[in-house]
């Protein structure tokens, strides 16, 4: 399991919870060539990101290789309060994963 | 004597705390979400990717806004925000028409999630960026051409 790859900020503003998350991940397309060996660097990308509020999925992202390296994601939802928990988890095409829980401020 | 009492009290408090947690916390209901659309991500054409995702490639114009730079300095990192004021939004999909595989990202949103997503994508060259919003069972789309000076897909 990967560790400490997720940064997340969740804030209540105007009655909504605004979530911004940044994940550290190479998001390799599989099209790039290693300059030294000339061989293609294998695709390595996050496939799914699950965002949960109090255990309920509020956003599920399906990503392909076209999402940028160190992907950024922001979304908004209602029905949250300051102090609630938000959890971001990801799984990539190699089966690696990580997750992070943060408190909504 | 004191040590034993402390242990017993500790156990008791933990037990009581656990008992007060809503049952959902101990046995979380794993609500199902759609499986990863493997085929859609492999398609080389927008229409086929949409067919794989939604069973149709027919979309209507509607309240779908794409915020993206007119010119992307770096095709590897193009910030895209898709938003809509519509209610009943189920999903937002982002495609880059001229990428080797157009489907870039697909977001499934809960009923209490706004029709709004912001992310960063790779673009191989100047291309229309297409946003598809599924709301109340219908598909709505908008397109914006983003010029790319340095492509972001690879060699």
Looking at per-residue confidence, does B4 or B71 come out higher? B71
Q: Is B96 on the interface with A (CB under 8 A)?
A: yes
User: If you average pLDDT over every residue of chain B, what do you get?
Assistant: 86
Query: What residue in A sits closest to B43 (Cα-Cα)?
Result: A64
A chain contacts of residue B104, beta-carbon cutoff 8 Å: 63-64, 66-67
The pLDDT of residue B28 is: 42
Interface test with A, best of B44, B46, B79, B107 (most A CBs within 10 A): B107
pLDDT interval class at B25 (50, 70, 90): very low
- What are the angstrom distances between the C-alpha of A61 and each of B59, B71, B84? 21, 26, 17
- Chain B contact present for A65, CB below 8 A: yes
pLDDT: is B34 or B118 the higher one? B118
Any CB–CB contact under 8 A between A31 and chain B? yes
How far is C-alpha A15 from the chain's CA centre? 24
Task: Work out the minimum CA distance from A3 to partner chain B, whole angstroms.
Answer: 22
Residues of B in Cβ contact (< 8 Å) with A87: none
Question: Over the stretch B27-78, which tens digit does the pLDDT of each residue have?
Answer: 444 567 889 999 999 999 999 999 999 999 999 999 999 999 999 989 999 9
Domain positions in chain A are 6-103
B150 CB near a chain A CB, below 8 Å? no
Averaged confidence pLDDT in chain A: 96
Under CATH, which number does the domain A6-103 receive? 2.60.40.10
- Candidate from A97-101, B83-87, B151-155 with smallest mean pLDDT: B151-155
Q: Look at residue A98 in the predicted model and tell me its pLDDT.
A: 97
Is A47's Cβ below 8 Å from some Cβ in B? yes
What is the 3-class SS of B27-83, one letter each residue? Answer: CCCCCCCCCCCHHHHHCCCHHHHHHHHHCCCCCEECCCEEECCCEECCCCCEEEEEE
- Across the interface, of B41, B110, B152, the residue whose CB is closest to A58 is B110
Domain ranges of chain B: 38-148
- CATH architecture group of domain B38-148: Sandwich (2.60)
ipTM of the complex as predicted: 0.95
Which chain A residues contact residue B29 at CB under 8 A? 55
pLDDT at position B20 is 52
In this predicted structure, what is the pLDDT of residue B33?
Answer: 81
**pLDDT above 90 for B147:** yes
Helix (H) or strand (E) holding A17: strand A16-23
Residue B10 has a pLDDT of 57
Asked whether B46 and B97 are in contact (CB, 8 A), the reply is yes
Predicted pLDDT at B73: 87
DSSP sequence for A41-104 = PPPB-EEEEEEEETTEEEEEEEE-TTBPSS-EEEEEEES--TT-EEEEEEEETTS-EEEEEEE-
Chain A residue with the nearest C-alpha to that of B108 = A60
A61-70 average pLDDT score = 98
């Amino acid at each position: 399991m990967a560790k400490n790859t997720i940064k997340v900020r969740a804030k209540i503003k105007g009655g909504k919870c605004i979530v911004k998350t940044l994940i550290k991940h190479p998001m390799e397309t599989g099209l790039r060539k290693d300059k030294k060996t000339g061989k293609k660097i294998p695709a390595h990308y996050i496939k799914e990101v699950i965002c949960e509020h109090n255990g309920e999925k509020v956003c599920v992202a399906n990503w392909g290789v076209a999402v940028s390296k160190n992907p950024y994601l922001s979304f908004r939802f209602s029905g949250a309060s300051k102090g609630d928990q938000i959890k971001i988890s990801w799984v990539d095409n190699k089966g690696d994963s990580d997750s992070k829980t943060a408190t909504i401020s | 004597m004191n040590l034993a009492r402390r242990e017993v009290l500790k156990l008791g408090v933990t037990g009581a705390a656990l008992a007060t947690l809503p049952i959902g916390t101990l046995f979380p209901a794993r609500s199902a979400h759609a499986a990863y659309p493997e085929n859609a991500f492999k398609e080389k054409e927008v229409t086929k990717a949409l067919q794989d995702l939604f069973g149709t490639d027919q979309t209507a114009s509607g309240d779908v806004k794409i915020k993206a730079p007119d010119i992307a300095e770096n095709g590897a990192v193009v910030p895209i925000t898709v938003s809509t004021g519509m209610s009943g939004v189920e999903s937002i999909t982002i495609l880059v028409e001229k990428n080797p595989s157009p489907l870039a990202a697909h977001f499934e949103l809960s009923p209490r999630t706004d029709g709004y997503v912001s992310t960063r994508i790779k673009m191989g060259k100047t291309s229309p960026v297409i946003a598809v919003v599924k709301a109340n069972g219908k598909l709505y789309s908008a397109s914006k051409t983003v010029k790319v000076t340095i492509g972001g897909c690879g060699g």
